[in-house]
């Protein structure tokens, strides 16, 4: 759906005065806070301004009527945690950065009509769905909590939308793994205010063919490497990916060619061709097992791994996770894409995706989130953490 919100715009969010004040004044209104967070542009690499403001907001929350917060910072990643001595700890995490702006700032509070909505009130703008609504959910809940039934760590991090080596959560997991310790983690990625457990793993490989160069007028003197790639593509086209049940959730795998490259010139038979392949594998497999599968699948061809990330089991068989499912009163679904829940899983912390917003609108020019979803998710998170 492509939407021009200008005709039905109710309000435009424009930062005014001190940014911490600007955010703090909206802590009792998750939708309003979402819009204000979106108004602070924070494309990956430009998170310091919003991080400084959120850090100050957390300092004020910790000084308020709720529990004290220990504030820790590594670059543009902040961890704010209670130290109440509870036997269990919940980690709630969300990233502060967005993909580049696409004529969708400043953000607006407006109404949309379309296939998914009937006159629905939304926050429209870059980051609304992915994932400043999830950040707003967390900040509003942190401010509202008085007597949480478990200790809580609030994590806000940088560089999620770019190369994994820059990811703030990954950096903290390497530098300060104890900061992320807990018994259960909730990542505020957009999931329609429902639970998506764990995530598939992902691995990318280059599958290469070789040949012999020749003038294309005398092709019989060469061996065409691009033609040889037909066998690679044929195997992919004929393969039927399966569905794997992990901890009660069905993870559908996928195996796809995502690019192909080769060729020398318009009159030369090429001697090299590379097919890039992406395999999304169920979290019951390791990345090493996924690599082994691909090497066997492409027997006879050169296979080079270019990127790999482990999946994450949902851990829904644990009581602490089941308590969260019971709070929602909804059946969880599997996360078929890869998210940072995998980083928590690597630390031994079971994790789920739970946040407002339809992930189908993430990164789109008409990115938006329904006001009702932001409000509902904030209520759910507070109910869970207060044991209602």
Q: Write out the catalytic residue numbers.
A: 97, 160
Which residues pair with residue 207 across a beta bridge?
275, 303
Contact 257, 275 (CB under 8 A): yes
Nearest to 370 by CA among 39, 11, 10, 129: 129
Q: In angstroms, rounded to a whole number, what is the distance separating the alpha carbons of residues 282 and 243?
A: 8
Is the Cα dihedral 369, 374, 376, 380 positive or negative?
positive
Contact 233, 242 (CB under 8 A): no
Q: In angstroms, rounded to a whole number, what is the distance separating the alpha carbons of residues 266 and 288?
A: 40
Q: What is the maximum span of the chain, computed from C-alpha positions, in angstroms?
A: 83
Nearest to 51 by CA among 188, 156, 159: 156
Classify residue 36 by its DSSP letter.
H
Cα 358 to Cα 32, 111, 194, 275, 352, distances in angstroms: 18, 16, 10, 32, 16
Q: Is 345 exposed, middle or buried (0-12, 13-18, 19+ CB in 10 A)?
A: buried
* C-beta atoms surrounding 371 within 10 Å: 22
* C-beta atoms surrounding 306 within 10 Å: 11
């Amino acid at each position: 759906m492509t939407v021009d919100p200008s005709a039905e715009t109710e309000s435009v969010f424009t930062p005014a005065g001190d940014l911490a004040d600007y955010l703090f004044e909206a802590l009792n209104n998750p939708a309003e806070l979402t819009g204000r967070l979106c108004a602070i542009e924070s494309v990956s690499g430009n998170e310091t301004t919003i991080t400084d403001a959120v850090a100050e907001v957390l300092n004020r929350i910790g000084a308020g009527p709720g529990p004290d917060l220990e504030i820790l910072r590594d670059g543009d990643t902040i961890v704010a945690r209670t130290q109440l001595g509870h036997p269990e700890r919940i980690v709630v995490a969300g990233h502060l950065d967005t993909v580049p702006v696409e004529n969708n700032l400043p953000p607006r509070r407006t109404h949309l009509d379309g296939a998914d909505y009937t006159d629905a009130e939304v926050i429209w703008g870059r980051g609304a769905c992915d994932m400043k609504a999830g950040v707003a959910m967390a900040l509003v809940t942190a401010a509202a909590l008085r007597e949480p039934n478990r200790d809580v760590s609030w994590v806000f991090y940088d560089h999620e939308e770019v190369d994994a080596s820059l990811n703030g959560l990954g950096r903290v997991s390497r530098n300060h793994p104890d900061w992320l310790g807990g018994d259960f983690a909730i990542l505020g990625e957009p999931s329609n205010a429902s639970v998506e457990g764990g995530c598939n793993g992902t691995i990318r490989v280059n599958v290469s063919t070789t040949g012999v160069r020749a003038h294309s007028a005398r092709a019989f003197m060469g061996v065409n490497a691009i033609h040889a790639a037909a066998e690679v593509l044929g195997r992919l086209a004929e393969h039927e990916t399966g569905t794997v049940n992990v901890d009660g959730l069905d993870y559908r795998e996928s195996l796809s060619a995502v690019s192909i490259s080769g060729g020398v010139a318009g009159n030369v038979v090429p001697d090299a061709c590379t097919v890039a392949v992406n395999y999304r594998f169920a979290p019951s497999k390791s990345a090493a097992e996924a690599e082994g599968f691909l090497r066997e699948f492409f027997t006879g061809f050169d296979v080079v791994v270019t990127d790999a990330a482990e999946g994450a089991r949902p851990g829904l068989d644990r009581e602490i996770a089941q308590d969260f499912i019971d709070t929602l009163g909804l059946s969880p679904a599997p996360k078929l894409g890869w998210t940072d829940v995998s980083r928590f899983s690597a630390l031994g912390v079971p994790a789920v995706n739970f946040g407002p917003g339809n992930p189908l609108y993430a990164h789109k020019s008409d990115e938006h989130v329904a006001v009702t979803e932001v409000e509902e998710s904030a209520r759910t998170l507070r109910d869970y953490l207060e044991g209602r």
